[in-house]
Chain A
């Protein structure tokens, strides 16, 4: 009797509905695959080089690093039904801070590896501090996240420009370049080819041009951060709380989840990841720049949304954010290689963002439920 009454009242889905639903769930993967196929087919015709060459795919990965790092933190924030508009300028601030810390400590006689570590700490903690303050104001003073992070973004911008004296922080030790640009693997083509781990062989001239760098250190760090984020969001209580707060904050409160503290942690995490992105950019360009992060903010949010994270909160995955960032990077790189004027990138990326949300919303339509948003 009991089981009887509570049996699901919904009609089973038709075959067509199932197919459409699966497509709407996996469209980002399909879209990425189609994009890559398209560029693999067209790029060689227009520019004579292969799109998926080792070198070019590595370039795409390097380009993804900052967008993805900002996006990973943002994924946690948006799943908790918040938004963090400060991460772009936090990345800039962190880039400046880590450059200053690295340079000044090295000049004061600290050995290079230690100076790099100090740079990392300055970037991650400096960034994290901004997130901590954001989180405190959002959670304790109940100011909307949009306002808080918008305001703090201006303040962080001011600090970054102030401390960099409105110019690139230069004079970093030469050895820094290796940290930001050396790779985990090196592959050398041709007769004297080979595969090397950690350090490249001493090469000159032609041989150097035959060498492919695979997985530069910033890419390795980003991959590790992706894995850590997956673990955190999908396997731990931290992730469960993040979903619960985004799904129904009242339920989270009544379940005894320390909601305020969790929100503070989420914004701190987001800003710390932006700090890491700033630090890595400092290594990569051997200098700290206050203008590095801001242009990346909207791209990173676009990637997160393309990846299926709902701005209403409560839904999204790390792998989705990775796919979203890949889509943007593949699109931009591919269009450049097709000699499409750069402005078209913006138009295409913007269209993809809107289409992504439309596809997400179509899901309710497919199963015939009224799309009432979250209850």
Chain B
């Protein structure tokens, strides 16, 4: 395998007496899809938030693109190229597609040597539609508020936004939740497309079919620890469930 894009080493995060993430290590390489599995409270979200700069880990290291990094804010992680798409997608429902894709990074016209700046809506619309086209996403109209779009379309906008801003690593939290079956398929297809373009994807989910549809490798967490890591080809749903509920545990088996 080529050099990992992201490598997490002995990461630990505590909240008071609770150890939410306990000495977890793993890595992800270019064009890889890694599924992060676990029951509620297993530590998946905390682990992800340590990577995306929401939480500062108590122990351990995060290496990204060959450098040791510590992100003190989510913006720093995004600046480095780690894009996280949360379940609520972080879209402004009242704004249209281009406004959402460019939110916080608007393209501008400059007048009087930059003294007066107005938004360049036409360029944002053009760029947005090209960005979506590159992912084979076609909307009838882009200049309508997000709230008039379907769940899958919104997910697509969130993904397109991350791709447009040159995400080098994509973290997706339950991307197929609350979607109809055809839209679930479409989102999985988008994940494959990202992988084919070389962007690694971390997929947080507990939907088993999704895991086997797109993941190359699977990591299962239980009570803050990584209890196993398997290639998708080497395992099956029933075995993963046993890891998820704590019936199986590679660490304990080895010990």
Q: A interface vs B, CB < 8 Å?
A: 1-3, 5-10, 231, 235-237, 240, 243-244, 246-248, 250-252, 254-257, 314-315, 374-375
Q: Which residue of B lies closest to A375 (CB)?
A: B93
Q: Which residues of B contact A257 (CB under 8 A)?
A: 103-104
B153 CB within 8 Å of chain A: yes
Which B73-100 residues have a C-beta within 8 angstroms of A? Answer: 74-75, 78, 86, 88-95, 99-100
Instruction: Show 30 A/B contacts (Cβ-Cβ < 8 Å), sorted by A.
Output: A1-B136, A1-B189, A3-B136, A5-B152, A6-B137, A6-B153, A6-B183, A6-B186, A8-B140, A231-B118, A236-B118, A237-B108, A240-B95, A240-B103, A240-B119, A243-B92, A243-B94, A247-B93, A248-B90, A248-B92, A250-B88, A251-B100, A251-B103, A252-B104, A254-B86, A255-B90, A255-B104, A256-B78, A257-B103, A314-B94
List, in ascending order, chain A residues with CB within 8 A of B119's CB: 235-237, 240
Give every chain A residue within 8 A of B139 (Cβ-Cβ).
6, 8
Give me the 5 closest cross-chain CB pairs, A-B, nearest first.
Answer: A255-B104, A2-B136, A247-B94, A3-B138, A314-B94
Residues of chain A with a CB closer than 8 A to B90's CB: 248, 250-251, 254-255
- Is the Cβ of A252 less than 8 Å from the Cβ of B137? no
B140 to chain A, nearest CB (A): 6
Given contacts A5-B183, A10-B148, A246-B94, 16 further A-B contacts (CB under 8 A): A2-B138, A3-B137, A6-B150, A7-B140, A8-B150, A237-B108, A237-B117, A240-B95, A243-B92, A243-B94, A244-B103, A251-B100, A314-B94, A374-B93, A374-B94, A375-B147
Cross-chain contact A255 with B103 (CB below 8 angstroms): yes
Query: A5: nearest residue on chain B (CB-CB)?
Result: B186
A315 to B119 Cα, complex, angstroms: 18
Q: Is B106 an interface residue (CB 8 A)?
A: yes
Q: Report the contact-size class of chain B (Cβ under 8 Å from the partner).
A: 35 or more
A5 contacts across to B, CB distance below 8 A? 152, 182-183, 185-186
Q: Quick check: A2 and B94 within 8 Å, CB to CB?
A: no
Contact in complex: B103, A237 (CB < 8 Å): no
The residue in chain B whose Cβ has the minimal distance to the Cβ of A245 is: B92
A residues within 8 A CB of B167?
Answer: none
The complex places the Cα of A250 from the Cα of B104 at a distance, in Å, of: 12
Instruction: Using CB atoms, name the residue of chain A closest to B186.
Output: A5
B109's nearest neighbour on chain A, judged by CB, is A235
| Inter-chain contact B152/A6, CB cutoff 8 Å | yes
Query: Is B156 part of the binding interface, using a Cβ–Cβ cutoff of 8 Å?
Result: yes
Check B150–A9 contact: CB distance below 8 A. Answer: yes
- Cα A154 to Cα B249 in complex, Å, equals 63
Give Cα distance in the complex from A375 to B87, angstroms. Answer: 13
Q: How far is the CA of A257 from the CA of B147 in the complex (A)?
A: 21
Output the least CB separation between B221 and chain A (Å).
24
- The complex places the Cα of A7 from the Cα of B182 at a distance, in Å, of 11
- Collect the chain B residues with CB atoms within 8 Å of residue A9's CB: 150
**Cα(A8)–Cα(B97), bound, Å:** 14
A375 to B89, CA, bound (A): 12
Q: For residue A315, which residues in chain B have a CB less than 8 angstroms away from its CB?
A: 94
Chain B min CB distance to A9 (Å): 5
A3 to B152, CA, bound (A): 12
Most chain B beta-carbon neighbours within 10 Å: one of A2, A250, A256: A2
Q: Is the CB of B92 within 8 A of A251?
A: yes
What residues of chain B lie closer than 8 Å to A252, measured between beta carbons? Answer: 92, 103-104
| Given known A246-B94, A251-B92, contact A240–B99 (CB-CB < 8 A) | yes
| B106-A314 in contact (CB<8A) | no
